[in-house]
Structure 1
Amino acid sequence: MDRLRLLNRTLQVGLIAVLAFGVLARNVSVVVNALAGFGVTLVPAVLARDRDLLLDPRFTLVVSVAVFLHSIGMVGLYDRIWWWDHLTHTFSATIVAVIAYTVVWAVDVHREDIHLPPPFTGLFVLTFVVAMGVLWEVAEFLAREVAIFLGQEPVLVLYGLDDSMLDLLFNLLGAVTVTVFATTRLRRWGEQLAAWLDRQLEAN
């Protein structure tokens, strides 16, 4: 676990380096994405400190890897490596699927009046990831159009409708990977989350 935390810290340092590069290069896109990514990596520590919710270091590391890959992609890898966008979308979809599956399973365990069969949970996660992917693509398009209208450099990369369809396909790939290969561990995380919810209710 110490090794995982060290890797996570290394990725955070990498994000700071990307942020510094963006500032020196006066590249708003790089700065915004690196800053947002670094903020995301701080969320697990904030949850642990303020809410006593301890996330598995392996999940925290995957989140850091995803935002780091996206941030260095903004430096130029999205344009130079054709599959980089597919890689980052698969990683991001995996994270969304993990969160969705864990939360749904936690609700199933936490609430005695709710029973969600595993097949339904898997289908829900796939649907949820696809829906979030569609919303993200729409947000990318709107953010770009607003930036262009205001005469600013867009902070998100958009390559057209065909690329958006491929993004959704790789989002689905990430979700399928999670629901097929990681359900046992995610159910354990869901049970831990349900236990945390019970503690919060008792404390209140």
Structure 2
Amino acid sequence: MWSQQSERVVGRAIQLAICLIFFAGVYTRNLSVLVNAVVALSATFLPAILRRDWQIRLHPFLGMWLAMAVLLHAIGMLGPYHYIDWWDHVTHTLSATVVAAVGYTTARAIDEYSDAVYFPDRFMFVYILLFTLAAGVFWEVLEFGARLAADAVGMEAILVQYGLGDTIIDLVFDSVGAALVALFGTSPLTETIDSLTEHLERTRT
């Protein structure tokens, strides 16, 4: 169903949309939109870099999923984060699935690469949740720090942070994203795990 051609077409469309968001930030002189659009656009090139430089085999769906996650975040900076209550929940859930996929793939590759490491399936479920929540906490701290720094210098905050209650809700949806990957999203990662293990073998050699 998903092919690299589909990934390229969808990826180019998403990159174009992010570029338009960037120019919207330029037009409105909105620093937060500009910075987040640049970061989002950079993230869309990550799958191609992994394939080219590390010879990592990625399911085409994974590249599109990452691109969609960063696109929705970039769109949110234009206003939906402020005006649509559920937008933040969607972006946190999507972003959490990406983080969970990275954590799961890395851990499984190390498990297969090293005879000294063994991760049981039950442990992996807990690990995915904890890994994703740790990344979520780091992100919330980053948002809080960005808000304090912006207030200190009298600038507009690059990241949006609405207080402790919002942080707790964000972490809840981070957990939802992690649980979705742990329960249903590990199968598309099998080939990526194998190629990452091969990369570790080549590095050791």
| Counterpart selection for 2:139 from 132, 136, 161 | 136
The sequence identity of aligned pairs, in percent, is: 40
Residue range with higher mean Cα deviation, 112-121 or 15-24 = 112-121
- The answer to whether the 8 Å contact 1:44/1:54 transfers is no
Equivalent in the alignment of 1:148: 151
Q: Deviation of residue 5 (structure 1)?
A: 1.7
- The answer to whether the 8 Å contact 2:14/2:71 transfers is yes
| Counterpart selection for 1:73 from 52, 69, 76 | 76
| Counterpart selection for 1:196 from 187, 195, 199 | 199
Unaligned runs of 5+ in 2: none
Helix, strand or coil: the match of 2:78? helix
1:171 matched to 2:174:
yes
Q: Deviation of residue 189 (structure 1)?
A: 2.7
Q: Describe the shift of the 1:55–1:188 C-alpha distance in structure 2 as closer, same or farther (beyond 3 A).
A: closer
Q: 1 CA distance for matches of 2:104 and 2:50?
A: 19
Q: Deviation of residue 125 (structure 1)?
A: 1.0
TM-score normalised by length of structure 1: 0.94
Q: Deviation of residue 8 (structure 1)?
A: 1.0
Q: Describe the shift of the 1:52–1:188 C-alpha distance in structure 2 as closer, same or farther (beyond 3 A).
A: closer
Equivalent in the alignment of 1:96: 99
Equivalent in the alignment of 1:51: 54
| Counterpart selection for 2:31 from 28, 32, 45 | 28
Q: 2 CA distance for matches of 1:186 and 1:61?
A: 14
1:85 maps to a residue whose letter is D
Q: CA RMSD in A?
A: 1.2
Equivalent in the alignment of 1:122: 125
Q: 1 CA distance for matches of 2:120 and 2:133?
A: 20
Q: How many residues are paired up?
A: 202
